[in-house]
Amino acid sequence: MFIITWEYQVKPEKQAEFKTIYSPNGAWVELFKKSTGYLGTELLRDGTNPRRYLTIDRWNSKEEYEVFLSQWEMEYKALDAQCEGLTESESLIGKWTTI
């Protein structure tokens, strides 16, 4: 399994919109579901800092994730641009492979 984790600091007034787009039923998941290699997404919120969120995206393999990116690059970039105003910061925590 291939896992990608992101950390976000969400603007206070954008939290509802962020949760809608990044939730397991949101726009990102709808895009990811276009790949048969996509397994699911979790959205987590920090218990001590309610504006800090993590996403955990699971894929069958790194190769299937890369195929998805190449096939849906324009849609990915468009959605990413749409989400820019929701956060104060966005950081890739890492890309992980299960052993």
Mean pLDDT of residues grouped by 10 in the chain (99 residues)? 98 97 96 97 97 98 97 97 96 96
Q: How many angstroms separate the CA atoms of 29 and 16, rounded? A: 17
pLDDT of residue 82: 94
Tell me the fold of 2-97: Alpha-Beta Plaits (3.30.70)
pLDDT of residue 44: 98
pLDDT of residue 54: 98
pLDDT of residue 71: 97
Whether the Cβ atoms of residue 31 and residue 76 lie closer than 8 Å to each other: yes
Beta bridge partners of 40: 58
